Structure 1
Amino acid sequence: MEHNLRIDKLTAVFNRESLLAQIRFLKRRANQDPLEKPQFALLFIDLDEFKSINDRYGHDAGDQFLITVAARLKTAVRTTDVVARYGGDEFVILLKDAGAFSDVTAAEEKIRSIVEAPMALQQHIVNVGVSIGWAMFPQDGRDADTLMKVADSRMFDSKKRTQGGGALTGCIAPPPHDTTENAARKHLNFTYFREYDEKSAYHP
């Protein structure tokens, strides 16, 4: 019974309440053992094509679309990570033990390669597009609300650039003479990211 309360009924991934509870647990662990320094990241994912699919093919097709995307997300991450439906067509992935920004970018790349593959839906082939934002603990915040707001804001920035027709290919590099990880994080947008260092690739 308790397990059912933590699972989204439609997609069979974790629900919002379970996700937030797991974030709070990781925060408590960090507070209790500062020497351990647990780090994690959130990926906030919005489905770009969901509304048009729902309007064109109906709610049953929309539900099947969400179910298939959720299954693809589960295959794109490690078994120790958490896939949750945050609401509607929004999903959040909790990447545990993601201490480096390269962990986040590599996970994002793998998610795109799996989730954005064309999907068969009611005898049609539909495109799947995702907008992704990210936040890292503790760099971007030390509580669930702050982390979700940061990730959500970055997701919307990604979506606006895509809808504005400004999408590029390749990796956005930091400005000249600034090669720090912070600089890369400021200037990389997930919508534009298409390459990553194979040595730091994220393996499930």
Structure 2
Amino acid sequence: MTAPLADPAVLAARRAALAAPHMAPLARFAAALRCTTGLAVPDADPADGGIGARLLLLLETPGPSMPTTGLVSRDNPTPTGANLRRFLAAIPRAEVLIWNAVPFLIHAPGARNRAPDAAEREAGLALLPPLLELLPHLAVAVLAGRFAARAAPALQAARPGLPVLRMPHPSPTYTCTSPAVPALIASVLAEAAALLPPCRDAAA
């Protein structure tokens, strides 16, 4: 199945939706990061929950193909995007915000993916508290991959008591190594979904 954001019309509509109320604060946050760092910083996907999200899925870094869409999204035309669409299918999109532990692009044009260095890691983790300030309804965070797992102390310091779960990264680099990896990802996401409190409307 073709990734939704491979369609220029879909991508244009998503970019326009960054001005929507649930997205505007996050779009301003990303724009400020682009200004202060001078680096490319993708926006969150307006098809997801934005500031209303109750589940934060924290990946590692924007991939080298990020400039194609400029969005952190399950709908990106990448193998990781395809895996995210599959793994997140059972969780309503309005519940989820996908972001990166290091939110700015660290790859030179044409370079292969690499892990962040120490300075990039520290710079990214320092940006998590202001991100959390934009997520008043956050109920659980899921850290995808070994690097994102290092964000746990920063998240728990900024939001004491927040449940923080860890899972393997959804890249095919990891999911294809063993059937146990996709099973673990699915299990962790099911646990995260179970931690979401009932919606206010449902409880009324």
TM-score (norm 1): 0.31
Larger of the two Rg values belongs to structure: 1
The structure with the largest strand share of the pair is 1
Return the structure number with greater relative CO, CA threshold 8 A, min gap 6.
1
Normalising by structure 2, what TM-score? 0.31
